[in-house]
Structure 1
Amino acid sequence: MALEMELSPVTEEAFKKYFRELLLEQVNEIRQDEMKSRPYLNKKDMAAWLGVSKNTLDKFIKAGLKVSDINDSQLIGKQTALEFLKNHETYML
């Protein structure tokens, strides 16, 4: 038994927007849960996890952020990245 309703264009757009936002929230929650469960991330995921660009992450690496390089797979520990940032905290005037 299907339920059919006539919606005004404004109401239809409001529903679409609501469901789109709901879906995006769920996808983001799933992504965050996955990120929490992995102690090491590749460079792309680490940049996303830190909220920086890949270029900025490369600058962090040049500045001393340690990377595990095993058989051409580069992984960065979340704890290592957090410690690196903590060690580079300074007062900005």
Structure 2
Amino acid sequence: MSGFQVMLNETQTKELQRYIFELTNEAVQQAIHNAGTDKEFLNQKEMASWVGVSSTTLRSYVNEGMPMIVIGGRNLYSKKEVSKFLLSKQK
């Protein structure tokens, strides 16, 4: 397998590093957005996945007092409020 070598001066090296950093940062931000991790409110399925429990277990947490928002028949959960609730159960 033959290869080749590219010689860059210091300025070119820094520009290439900056360009790679920007591309990587954009890709990470897009992945975060696509994964929905930038959302403040999640539906039941998303929240169950975020907490790492089943939807049934999540409903039992609601019965124990975990905050839930109902709008137009949809259940939404605030990550911040759910985190507070879970931490309040910490022993």
The two structures share one fold, judged by TM-score above 0.5: yes
Q: Is the 8 A contact 1:67 1:75 kept in 2?
A: yes
- Aligned CA distance change for structure 1 residues 57 and 31 (closer, same or farther; 3 Å): farther
| Structure 2 alignment gaps of length 5 or more | 1-29
**Aligned-residue offset at 1:32:** 7.8
Match of 1:69 in 2: 70
Moved over 6 A (4+): none
Identity %, equivalent residues:
27
Match of 1:47 in 2: 48
Q: Secondary structure at the match of 1:37?
A: coil
Provide, for residues 27-53 of structure 1, a one-character-per-residue CA deviation record: whole Å limited to 9, x for no partner.
xx9378633210000000000011111
Larger radius of gyration: 2
Q: Secondary structure at the match of 2:42?
A: strand
Query: How many pairs were matched up?
Result: 62
**Aligned-residue offset at 1:73:** 1.2
Q: TM-score, normalised by structure 1?
A: 0.60
Q: Secondary structure at the match of 2:77?
A: strand
Match of 1:16 in 2: none
Q: Is the 8 A contact 1:35 1:49 kept in 2?
A: no
Q: Is the 8 A contact 1:41 1:78 kept in 2?
A: yes
Provide, for residues 58-84 of structure 1, a one-character-per-residue CA deviation record: whole Å limited to 9, x for no partner.
110000011110110110000011000
Q: TM-score, normalised by structure 2?
A: 0.61
